[in-house]
Amino acid sequence: MNAKQKKNLIRIAVSGAMMLALEFVPVEGLARFVLYMIPYLIIGYDILIKAFQGIKNRQAFDESLLMAIATIGAISLALYDNGDYTEAIAVMWFYQIGEWFQSYAVGKSRNDISALMDIVPDTANVEGEDGQLEEVDPDDVEVGSVIVVRPGERVPIDGVVIDGTSSLDTSALTGEAVPRTIKKGEDVASGCINLSGVLKIRTTKEFGESTASKIMELIEDAGSRKAKTEKFITRFARVYTPIVTGLAVLLAFVMPLYHIATGAPAEWSTWIYRALIFLIMSCPCALVVSVPLSFFAGIGTASREGVLVKGASYLEALASTKTVVFDKTGTLTKGVFDVTGIHADDIDKDMLLHMAAHVERHSSHPIAVSLRNAFAHEADSCSVEDVEEFAGQGVRAKVNGKVVYAGNEKMMATAGVETHGCENEPVGALIHVAIDGKYAGHIIISDVVKDHSVQALKELKKAGVRQNVMLTGDVKEVGERVAKDIGIDRVCTDLLPQDKVAKFEEILKERKDENEMTAFVGDGINDAPVLRRADIGIAMGAMGSDAAIEAADVVLMDDDPLKIPTAMRIARKCMAIVRENIWFAIGIKVVCLILGAVGMANMWFAIFADVGVTVLAVLNAFRCMFVKGIKPENV
């Protein structure tokens, strides 16, 4: 609570108590009026001053001015009628309570959500020449300086560890709960919390260019890209107040005149009272505050789950996404090759892998790397000699005196060995192995599907996605097989990188409705053009990749595909709350306006339509913060 809020709370309490006390003071006439004016002025003096300034600045629809007219009007009516000033003062009183609550709730949510996202430390510890630590403003730390991060502290600036080992809590950046072990020579991103050991880090970036600062900037800017709903509300607010004020004038003057014209009694005070009700309800605040608050909460929640949404408009688009297009490698699959099968003919499986790994001992080809990774004891004492590489075919070498060929079918042809295909129609490449002129079997190497891909695709369908599409450069058989395995609806194979934009545009054209959004998910490498072309470009595993953060609209900090349905779930919840608030607030206001016009509502009603609705809408907006991320199923 800040000083202003405290002061206003005291004003509310004092005037409320006074009003209650005056109920029991039996005074009449002028004395009564003067006594009642004390709580009125205590609670409303600032509104009256602002109203006066509104007139001076020619702001006809200034909220304070309308409120002042409504309450002064009610007091005048009371003066003329029966001396019941309570209603007028209560209107001002509740109005101030509403304002106070709104200010408190918004301030609180601002703090809560900022704390959720506050990943930028205020200080950095720089090591001086004498080894002493000096606490400085991270903005002043030059690239290449050595900073020290003690356990429990957040890493302020990106850099490389030069001394120490520790485990890092990266959850602020990635939403990943399991700590990451870090040791000398490894890169560390700012925003992570150092959990165990002291780390000395040589900075590689300036503070302002570091991951944490960039992310904060992104999130703070997110609210500036306003969603369509928010623009609608702003436009609505712009016309709502003048229309309701206009109707109030009509009620106050035209209705009595009409009655006079038709010979009925004018009933001026009745109609003026109803007009004042309209003025009280003319403030659009409930609507206007709840919409950006909901989006802010939604974006904050998403960032807690490791998803950066770069604007409220993207949250909106994400909620109505009907087609998700994936670039296969690096999003649904790990993008690294693994040995996924060994089919040995006559020899032991391990022996086959053993031989193949040795042949590839000196090659830097990705396939060679994966073979060596699959065979844990590659660096054993076996002798590998006479290595010869056949470009586009494979490798031949002498392993422990045996001549071993490893490669594709062409390699086998060169070796003069008869091969046979694989019975199981494998997904991936076959590495044939021949030992001493005899076919020994083959090893299957393929890109491995990520653990959560299947679940992620299922969850997307649950979240309302109609079609999951996969783009890949793989040949048709392999691509279709992968698609079938993981449950993709449609696959486009044999695509060169430059074909992907064209293919994506084709998919875009197929949509039936302008409001159906098409998202593209890429790993941020080579697919920036498609990321830009999509309604929503989602970049994965983008921690540290500036180009991807730049091109994408939604950035997943790690490379878990489950984050996509999580983001959609948050977006949909957020949009549902925004819509609820809009309909609820407009609905209540319209109903109360109608009731007020026909004389069925009094000022208490009006104050509920204004303050009550604001409070409920703000509370409802908070629900955006309680959406949980999707938990991985055990696989």
Partner 1 sequence: MKKSYKIEVDCANCANLMEDAAKKTEGVADAVVNFMALKMKVEFEEGADPKQVMENVRANCKKVEEDCEVFI
Q: Which positions touch partner 1 (CB under 8 A)?
A: 49-50, 53, 57, 59, 62-63, 99, 102-103, 106, 110, 113, 220-221, 223-224, 226, 234, 237, 283-285, 288-289, 292-293, 295-296
Q: Specify the residue, 285 or 519, whose C-beta has the smaller distance to partner 1.
A: 285
The residue (of 106 and 501) whose beta carbon lies closer to partner 1 is 106
Nearest residue (CB) to partner 1, 220 versus 477: 220
Q: How far is the CB of 567 from partner 1 (least distance, A)?
A: 19
Per DSSP, the residues of 111-177 read: HHHHHHH----S-EEEE-TTS-EEEE-GGGPPTT-EEEE-TTPBP-S-EEEEE--EEEE-HHHH---
Sign of the torsion formed by the C-alpha atoms of 25, 31, 32 and 34: negative
User: 152 or 208: whose CB is closer to partner 1?
Assistant: 208
- The residue among 299 and 542 lying less far from partner 1, judged by its C-beta, is 299
Q: Measure the CA–CA gap between 624 and 116, rounded to whole angstroms.
A: 14
Least CB distance to partner 1 at residue 249 (A): 21
Of 50 and 579, the one with the shorter C-beta distance to partner 1 is 50
Contact 534, 519 (CB under 8 A): yes
Q: How far is the CB of 226 from partner 1 (least distance, A)?
A: 7
Residues 6+ apart with CB under 8 A from 293: 106, 109, 618, 621
Q: In angstroms, what is the minimal distance from the CB of 316 to partner 1?
A: 16
Shortest reach from residue 427's CB to partner 1, in Å: 48
Q: DSSP string covering 439-464, please?
A: EEEEEEEEEEEPTTHHHHHHHHHHTT
Contact 147, 156 (CB under 8 A): yes
- For partner 1, give the closer residue by CB, 225 or 511: 225
Q: How far is the CB of 186 from partner 1 (least distance, A)?
A: 34
DSSP annotation of 563: H
Smallest separation, CB 108 to partner 1 (Å): 12
What's the CA gap between 134 and 129, in Å, rounded? 10
Kindly state the smallest distance separating residue 320's Cβ from partner 1, in Å: 23
Opening angle at CA 379, ends 376 and 383, nearest 5: 130
Nearer to partner 1, 134 or 221 (CB): 221
Helix boundaries (H) for 377-527: 409-415, 453-462, 476-486, 499-509
* Residues forming the active site: 327
- Residue 366, classified by CB atoms within 10 Å of its CB into exposed (0-12), middle (13-18) or buried (19+), is exposed
- Class of residue 403 by CB neighbours under 10 A (exposed 0-12, middle 13-18, buried 19+): middle
List, in sequence order, every residue forming a beta bridge with 193; answer none if it has no partner.
154, 169
Query: Which residue number, 296 or 375, has a Cβ lying nearer to partner 1?
Result: 296
Phi-psi region of 281 (alpha: psi -120 to 50; beta: other; left: phi over 0): alpha
Cβ atoms within 10 Å of 159's Cβ, excluding its own? 26
Backbone angle region of 441, left / alpha / beta, with phi > 0 → left and psi within -120 to 50 → alpha: left
Phi, psi of 186 (to 5 degrees): -95, 155
Task: Work out how close the CB of 114 gets to partner 1 at its nearest, in angstroms, rounded to a whole number.
Answer: 9
Residue 169 tokens, joined: 């809590």
Closest by CA position to 623, among listed 217, 290, 192: 290
Cα Rg of the chain, angstroms: 35
Q: Which pair of tokens denotes residue 254?
A: 């035209």
To the nearest whole angstrom, how small is the minimum distance from the Cβ of residue 5 to partner 1?
A: 10
Instruction: Identify residue 611 by its one-letter amino acid code.
Output: V
Question: Judging by beta carbons within 10 Å of its beta carbon (0-12, 13-18, 19+), is residue 194 exposed, middle or buried?
Answer: buried
